[in-house]
């Protein structure tokens, strides 16, 4: 699995905003390119992907974004995260996701939650470090991935006989602005509170890569 396109010898100070954004975008595109065709999956495989995605996002996204907000030290970056959280809560995005998964016959089971338990735990522990720059990079990756994953998720649900697409329709649009905002927040934070040279900017991104891979390919890994 691809981790980072930036060699470890490159100082964090040498990473331009464009290089960081391109690196994260390439990581996202690699994951999207590897997605199996929905029509080649069994109904249970499609159900499992939707259910694992749902169990991760419904119970964790707002928590992860809040953890990132707590970690951020730069006042100019904080409103970007607050706007994101405000929209998630105001428009009840977890409710949209629950409706989506139920309509697709993919409301998560305990086995779906346990399938991603280790990776979710790794992400929680990573965010517990309260590293603002690393957390912002991870969430920029996550928002960007979600936005590009939405057409695929909708196709899975459609193949399961669902017509409930509010969640995928909304996030296929709003996450474009959310991703751009997080890259902006990352740039602001890095300019004021750069990482120590020995720290890996993409640590959290790598954790999320593993989690997204687990969501899609769990049944092929066991």
CATH at 175? 1.20.910.10
For residue 186, is it within any domain?
yes
| pLDDT for 26 beyond 60 | yes
Cβ contacts of residue 123 below 8 Å, gap of 6+?
60, 64, 204, 207, 208, 211
pLDDT at site 1: 47
For residue 11, is it within any domain?
no
For residue 212 the two structure tokens come to: 């997204």
For residue 6, CA distances in Å to 27, 60, 82, 158, 212 come to 11, 28, 30, 38, 21
The closest alpha carbon to 64, from 201, 187, 204, belongs to: 204
For residue 12, is it within any domain?
no
| pLDDT for 142 beyond 60 | yes
Give the percent of the chain with pLDDT over 70. 91
pLDDT at site 175: 65
**Number of domains present in the structure of the chain:** 1
The closest alpha carbon to 69, from 83, 50, 86, 82, belongs to: 82
Greater model confidence, 17 or 220: 17
Q: What share of the chain is helix, strand, coil (3-state, %, to 5)?
A: 75, 0, 25
For residue 104, is it within any domain?
yes
Provide the H-helix boundaries in 91-131: 93-103, 110-115, 117-127
For residue 6, is it within any domain?
no
Average pLDDT, the chain: 91
Average pLDDT over residues 204-215: 97
For residue 36, CA distances in Å to 57, 160, 169, 195, 214 come to 21, 16, 21, 36, 13
For residue 132, is it within any domain?
yes
For residue 2, is it within any domain?
no
pLDDT at site 177: 81
pLDDT at site 5: 42
Band the pLDDT of 7: cuts 50, 70, 90. Answer: very low
> What domain range is 210 assigned to?
21-31+42-221
> Sign (positive/negative) of CA torsion 191, 123, 203, 212?
negative
| pLDDT for 8 beyond 60 | no
For residue 106, is it within any domain?
yes
Is the entire prediction scored with pTM above 0.95? no
């Amino acid at each position: 699995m691809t981790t980072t396109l930036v060699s470890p010898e490159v100082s964090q100070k040498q990473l331009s905003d464009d290089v960081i954004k391109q690196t994260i975008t390439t990581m996202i595109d690699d994951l999207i390119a590897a997605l199996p065709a929905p029509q080649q999956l069994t109904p249970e495989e499609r159900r499992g992907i939707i259910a694992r995605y749902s169990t991760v996002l419904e119970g964790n996204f707002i928590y992860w974004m809040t953890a990132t907000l707590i970690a951020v030290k730069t006042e100019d970056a904080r409103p970007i995260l607050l706007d994101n959280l405000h929209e998630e809560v105001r428009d009840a995005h977890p409710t949209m996701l629950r409706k989506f998964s139920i309509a697709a016959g993919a409301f998560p089971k305990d086995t779906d939650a346990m399938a991603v338990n280790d990776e979710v735990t790794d992400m929680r522990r990573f965010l517990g470090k309260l590293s603002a720059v690393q957390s912002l990079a991870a969430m920029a990756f996550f928002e960007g991935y979600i936005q590009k994953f939405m057409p695929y998720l909708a196709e899975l649900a459609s193949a399961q006989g669902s017509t409930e697409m509010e969640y995928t329709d909304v996030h296929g649009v709003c996450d474009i602005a959310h991703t751009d905002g997080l890259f902006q927040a990352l740039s602001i934070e890095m300019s004021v509170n750069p990482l120590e040279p020995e720290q890996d900017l993409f640590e959290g991104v790598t954790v999320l890569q593993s989690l997204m891979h687990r969501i899609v390919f769990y049944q092929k890994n066991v």
